[in-house]
Structure formats: C-alpha cells, structure tokens
Structure 1
Amino acid sequence: MQEKMQPHAKGMIVMASAMLFLPLLDAIGKWLATVDSVPPATISFSRFFVQSLLTAAILLSLGGWKGLRTHNLKGNLFRGAIMGVGSVCFFAAVKYMPLADATAVFFVEPLLLTLLSAFVLKEQVGWRRLTAVAVGFIGTLIVVQPSFELFGWVSLLPLGTAACMAIYLAMNRKYSIADSPLVMQFYAGIGGAAFTAPVIIAGEIAGHADLAFGLATMPLSWALLAALGLIGTLGHLLVVQAFRLAPASMLAPFQYLEIVMAVLIGLLAFGEFPTPSKWVGIFIIAGSGIYVFIRERRVKEGVADEKRAKALA
C-alpha cells in the first residue's frame, strides 16, 4: 500500500501552486494603474475589502457568527495591516516598473524569511536550504538583469513589500496553529482595508495621486477589482495552508516560482519577451524549489526506513 504523502511535501506542493497563481494579482494591478489610471491605494483597498466580504460570507454560512471567532485578533489584524503596506508599495511599483523587474527586486524576501524563521521562529535551517534560497535569488538576478535605473526610489517599493511579506509569512506559521486559514484571511482582509482607508484619506488631503481615491472608468476594471479580492483570497488561503503543513524556511525557495509566472504574464499581457539568459534564470529558480522538494522526500523516506529497521530489530 502506498504511503500517504507527508505533511511537509503537501505544504511544498500547496506553496508552489500559490506562487503560480498569485502573480495574476500583480498583473491586474498593473493593468488597472496604467490603463485605467486607478490609484494603487484604491486598488489595494478594493482587494482587501472584497477579501473580507468573501471570507465573511463563507465563515457565516459554515458556522454562523461563531465562525468569525479568532484566538489571535490583534495578531491577525496586524498581519492584514502589514500586507496593506506591502500591497500599496507593490501596486505603486508595478505602475512604473516592468512586472518582472519589480517581482525580482521583491525576491530578497525569501532570504529575509529564512533569517526570520531561524532567529524568530527558532526553526532548524540547514546549509542546503540556505544554499537553495541563495541559488534561487541568483536566478532572479539573471532573469531581470538589474540596471542602474532600478536602484532609484521606485526600486525601494518592492523592497518594502519584501520586508512586509517576510513578516506576514512568519506570522502565518505562528498563528495558523490556532486559527483556520479562512478566519486568518477574514481578519487579514479587515486589517488591510483598515490600513489602506486612512492612507487614501491622507492621500486625498495631500494631493498624492498614487495614494488618493479614484473610481474605475471601464466596465472591465470593475470586474478586475472584484477579481483582485477573489484571487488574493484564494491565493493567500493556499499560502496559509502551506505554512500549516511545513516550516517557513522549507517553503522559502518555492516563492521563486512566482518570478516564472511574472515573466510569462509579462510576455502575454505586456509584450515583454524573455531573453535566453532570462530563461536560464527561470530554470535555476524552478530548480531550487524542486531540489528542496526532492531532498525533503528523501529525508522523510530515510527516517521512515530507519524506524522500520528499528521496529524489526
């Protein structure tokens, strides 16, 4: 009889699926900001507002008002606020930068997450995982081939998103023990909307176009704003579930798969065709995640074989 897949292996598969799905958020945000001139702060608020409505409807239908109960109210709201900061930064970045370039600058985040998992979550992080993360980061540099222009002030926006995302994912691992993914995403949606709403008010007062409120003018834009919430909810539900199954440091290399989708979406939606060197980088990125997956399965199989041998001894 075939053994059931180990939780860590399931977590890696779920994480990889999320990373192939979430770049649609960035592409939609870029289209809304550049084609219909919807301010990035408004895009972020719409994403979190729809997310909170969707998850509330599901939770209420499954368990009534008791379904909204959380064991970590402040922590989950803070998760949402952190994501609100990162979301505004990244949607503003892709308004001015190519999607793949902004995504690659963002990918300092797995390195930050690995450090957080070691020093904050006290997880065991071996040299092989650290090497896989480093190799994946090298792959992102090959994909993007950073130019001097990327190091202007706009390039700091994806770095801000990276720091926020690393904190968010580390908190996922901590709070997912007590709360379900749906509950976590409901309060994250409230926290994100609660953060972006004052930002929009401040942007209106200050006259800052990117932080102000702006209505979509095209029918398609309204549909895309709703889709942002749906994609964000489903994608981050997958991320939360992955962190319930596997350690943060083990999942970090799989985040590099997001650059694969960013390049493909950039090609299809924005006409950015990757050069041969970028394809080399893509294979390096994917390889780092696949390496961690294969190694984890072998380690688990080795432990299982050792236990069987002791049992038979």
Structure 2
Amino acid sequence: MPDTTASLHARDDIPRGIMLMILGALLVPGLDAAAKMLGERHAMPAGEIALLRFVLQSLMVFPFLIGREGWQSLRIQNVGLNLFRGVALGVASFLFFLALKNMPLADATAIFFVEPMIVTLLSAVLLKETVGWRRLTAVFVGFLGAVIVIRPNFVALGLVATLPLMTAALVALYLVLSRHLSGRTSPLAMHFYAGIGGSVSMLVICLVGTQAGIAELGLEVPRGAAVWGLLLTTGLFATVAHLLFIQAYRLAPASLLAPFGYFEIVSATILGFLLFGDMPDAGKGIGIAIIVASGVYIAWRENRLAARRSSLSPERG
C-alpha cells in the first residue's frame, strides 16, 4: 500500500479527531444493543440483521450525499478499495451479531478490544505511521482495563468467544483502509460505498446460506413496528458512528486514535445493564477508569506535542 501519511498529516487536527473518535465509540454499542435485541427477542438471523443494517445505512446516507455533493460524488477514486471496506465490515458485523446472540454485550465488546492493537500494528506496516512506545503502552493499558471490566472466560464461552476476535481483525482492516482513503474521497461517499459493499457481500452470503439451510444466514420478511424500529436504530447508529470515524481518521493518525476505541466499553456496560440486566460490579468500575485514563493520557500528550510543534514552527505573517 502506498505511503500517504505525509500528505494526510498536513490536514491533521488531532484534538478534533480524538473527540470525534470518542463520540463514535460511545455510539457503536447502541447499534450492537439493537442488533442483540433483534436476535435474542425477535429471533432474527444474524446474517439478515447485518444485511439490513447496511441496506438502511446506504439508503440513509444517499440523500445527504447527493444533496450536498451532487451526482458527481458517485464518481470516486479507488472504488474497489472502498467497496472492499464494506465487505470487511459486513462480514465483521455478521460475526459480531452472531456472537451477541450467545454472550453478553459487554463481554463481546471486551474480547473485541484486541482491535486497537491490530490497528496500531497495521497502521505501522501499511501506512508507515510512526508508533512510539508510549502509544503502544496506552493501547495495552486500555486493553488491560477492558479485561478487568469483563474478565472474559474463554473456557466458559467456548468457540463463540473467537467471533469477536475475528470481528476485531476485520474492523481493524476497515479502519486502516479508511485512513488510507480518507484524503481522496468525502466521508459521505466513503460511507455510501461501504454500505453498498456490505449490502452486496451480505446478500450473497445470506443467499448461499439460505440454500445451504444455515439458520443464521436465512432470510425472512421483518414484521412488526418493534422489529422495524430496531432495524432503523441499527442503520441510524451505524451511519452516525461511522461518519464520525471516517472524519476522525481524516484528522488524526490511525495508530493514535486506536486507544480511544476502548470508550465503547463505557456505553456497552451501561446498555448491558439497562437493557439486558448485566449487573456491573466494582471490577468493571476500575476497568472503565483505566480505559478512560489511558485515553485521557494520550489526548494530553498529543496536545502537548502539538503545542511544542507549533511553538517551534516559524510564524506566518
């Protein structure tokens, strides 16, 4: 993958990127909670939930894309890579929704938190970003906090615990590609094409799964206001959160933003308690505090570095 980091850093606005990343991370568990309710309480197949999430995502963003940027916005560079982002995210969504039907929301989220480590490593390898020991330390400290929150037990959960791990790898690839492509395509167009890629890939997977008789890949007509309300919630939360992510990755390096993904555990724990009765304990409070502290430390340090760079650069008249 070509090195685009130098050109991207000219537009970096690290504090804004961090803020947008945190907001997006806090919203994602809302999408996951709606998907879990669809699977657990309405017996909707995980594949169909993922498919309809991407269809609705594309439908929601399309009017804004055309209204703000015109029909010419559909002609973008790197169409294949933008669609591939959607394929990766589509398969990731299916795997995570399948996991949510079999385990608590916060547990799945905690296991998923190997994703920032993978983002940090991929951004160094593919984007040639410089990743210092402090940033790596923050990633591992944040992950330690996530483990303390949930203390996931792979023996108790079994093979289903590997589903969030596979999700993490695919989402990390999606995010690194977002950083790579963000300087060339508008956030709305990137989100639209990711939705198309996710929709097409999940439709093919579901059609094949239906023919093979795989229950979690079956297709059925959604019925009832509650089901449609939850489906619209998945589309809305996905649209808003991922637009925030795309904009964040336009403003700051992928490896820097990675630790702030841990903020998902905050809203995941709250929603798990409110919607599914997963009672938080003192250990979870300690873990959340560690997660927040690691994110605050990175934000504080990057602001210091930005101020130092600004003071060393020549003034412009």
| CA shift digits 1:43-62 (9 cap, x unpaired) | 01111001111222112222
| CA shift digits 1:266-286 (9 cap, x unpaired) | 011111111101110011011
Unaligned runs of 5+ in 1: 1-5
Measure the CA separation in 2 of the matches of 1:157 and 1:167. Answer: 16
Measure the CA separation in 2 of the matches of 1:307 and 1:183. Answer: 35
Is contact 2:88-2:174 (8 Å) kept? Answer: yes
Residue identity (%): 47
- TM-score w.r.t. structure 2 length? 0.93
> Structure 1 residues 57-66 or 179-188, which shifts more?
57-66
- Secondary structure, counterpart of 2:313 in structure 1: helix
Is contact 1:36-1:217 (8 Å) kept? Answer: no
- Read off the aligned partner of 2:303 and give its amino acid letter: R
> Which residue does the alignment assign to 1:118?
124
Residue 29 of structure 2 corresponds to residue 17 of structure 1: no
> Which residue does the alignment assign to 1:163?
169
Measure the CA separation in 1 of the matches of 2:50 and 2:311. Answer: 49
Match of 1:183 among 189, 192, 211: 189
Match of 1:73 among 79, 89, 105: 79
Unaligned runs of 5+ in 2: 1-11
Residue 224 of structure 2 corresponds to residue 218 of structure 1: yes
1:44-193 equivalences under 5 Å are 44-150=50-156, 152-193=158-199
- Read off the aligned partner of 1:26 and give its amino acid letter: D
Q: What's the CA shift for 1:185?
A: 0.5
Deviation beyond 6 Å, 4+ runs, structure 1 = none
Residue 148 and residue 295 in structure 1: after superposition, are their counterparts in 2 closer, same or farther (change >3 A)? Answer: same
> Which residue does the alignment assign to 2:278?
272
Measure the CA separation in 1 of the matches of 2:176 and 2:301. Answer: 23
> Which residue does the alignment assign to 2:253?
247
- Secondary structure, counterpart of 1:22 in structure 2: helix
- Secondary structure, counterpart of 1:96 in structure 2: coil
- TM-score w.r.t. structure 1 length? 0.94
> Which residue does the alignment assign to 1:3?
none
Measure the CA separation in 2 of the matches of 1:217 and 1:283. Answer: 41
> Structure 1 residues 195-204 or 171-180, which shifts more?
195-204
Is contact 1:69-1:183 (8 Å) kept? Answer: no
Measure the CA separation in 2 of the matches of 1:150 and 1:290. Answer: 33
Measure the CA separation in 1 of the matches of 2:101 and 2:287. Answer: 24
> Structure 1 residues 17-26 or 238-247, which shifts more?
17-26
Q: What's the CA shift for 1:64?
A: 3.1
Q: What's the CA shift for 1:234?
A: 1.0
Measure the CA separation in 2 of the matches of 1:68 and 1:226. Answer: 24
| CA shift digits 1:1-33 (9 cap, x unpaired) | xxxxx7011100110010011110100000000
Q: What's the CA shift for 1:151?
A: 5.3
> Structure 1 residues 210-219 or 174-183, which shifts more?
210-219
Measure the CA separation in 1 of the matches of 2:127 and 2:157. Answer: 31
The number of residue pairs the alignment matches comes to 306
- Read off the aligned partner of 2:132 and give its amino acid letter: G
| CA shift digits 1:161-220 (9 cap, x unpaired) | 100000000000000110000000000000000010011111211111111113333311
